């Protein structure tokens, strides 16, 4: 003979099951809402062809502008996000792309723009200085090197990816 289920237990199971079913209907969209952008962000790194062949890149930093079309959570900037990089070859002949954002308070750094500090990146806001390899000059406001973009070369052309922190 099968085990008898009391009326109380039956009601408890039924109500518990129904409550669980309803809760999953509410919780699942909430969890997805919170997690989805994180998953999308890691879904793939975007590299942009910046219209520069590898032989156009020399040891002198040059400013390159490019547009990235990406979502920031649920926000998609219209027309894309305009970015700039200082692109050059380092002493080993490897391509480097520095972010122009000063690590002090976020102004824009320029290459060789101050005659007092030749062959350096210079930030006019508070006289921040960086050596050619992106390292901050000690004693000036920035306390860390310039960030670099990830780069890769395909078919002889430079592609720029996301910024990796220095
Ligand atoms: S923001 Fe560049 S030195 Fe202050």
Q: For residue 110, how far is its CA from the centre of ligand 1 (angstroms)? A: 12
In 97-132, which positions are buried (b, 16+ CB within 10 angstroms) versus exposed (e)? bbbbbbbbeeeebbbeeeeebeebbbbeeeebbbeb
For ligand 1, whether the C-beta of 124 sits within 6 Å is no
User: Best of 98, 100, 121, 125 to mutate for ligand 1, by most ligand atoms within 8 A of CB?
Assistant: 125
Give yes or no for a contact between 63 and 100, defined as CB atoms under 8 angstroms apart.
Answer: yes
Q: How far apart are CA 40 and CA 26, in angstroms?
A: 22
Q: Hey, is 97 helix, strand or coil? A: strand
Q: Mean pLDDT across the chain, nearest whole number?
A: 85
For ligand 1, whether the C-beta of 143 sits within 6 Å is no
Q: For residue 156, how far is its CA from the centre of ligand 1 (angstroms)? A: 35
- For the chain, how far is it from start to end, CA to CA, in angstroms? 72
Give yes or no for a contact between 111 and 86, defined as CB atoms under 8 angstroms apart.
Answer: yes
Nearest ligand 1 atom to the CA of 102 is: 2
DSSP class of residue 39 equals: H
| Region 145-153 average pLDDT | 97
Residue pLDDT, tens place only, 51-104: 999 999 999 999 999 999 877 677 766 788 899 999 999 999 999 999 999 999
Residue 7 has pLDDT above 60, yes or no: yes
Q: For residue 142, how far is its CA from the centre of ligand 1 (angstroms)? A: 7
Query: According to the model, what pLDDT value does residue 16 have?
Result: 73
Q: For residue 122, how far is its CA from the centre of ligand 1 (angstroms)? A: 9
Q: Residue 74: which residues within 8 A CB-CB, separation 6 or more?
A: 37
| Region 19-44 average pLDDT | 55
Residue 40 has pLDDT above 50, yes or no: no
């Amino acid at each position: 003979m099968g085990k008898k289920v009391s009326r109380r237990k039956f009601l408890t199971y039924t109500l518990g099951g129904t409550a669980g079913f309803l809760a999953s209907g509410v919780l699942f969209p909430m969890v997805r809402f919170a997690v989805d952008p994180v998953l999308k962000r890691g879904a793939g790194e975007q590299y942009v062809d910046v219209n520069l062949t590898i032989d156009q890149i020399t040891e002198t930093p040059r400013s390159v502008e490019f547009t990235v079309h990406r979502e920031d959570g649920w926000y998609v900037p219209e027309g894309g996000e305009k970015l700039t990089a200082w692109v050059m070859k380092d002493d080993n002949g490897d391509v480097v792309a520095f972010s122009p954002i000063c690590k002090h308070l976020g102004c824009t750094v320029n290459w060789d723009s101050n005659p007092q500090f030749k062959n350096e990146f210079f930030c006019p806001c508070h006289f921040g200085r960086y050596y050619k390899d992106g390292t901050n000059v000690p004693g000036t406001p920035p306390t860390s090197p310039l960030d670099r973009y990830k780069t890769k070369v395909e078919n002889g052309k430079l592609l720029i990816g996301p910024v990796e922190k220095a």
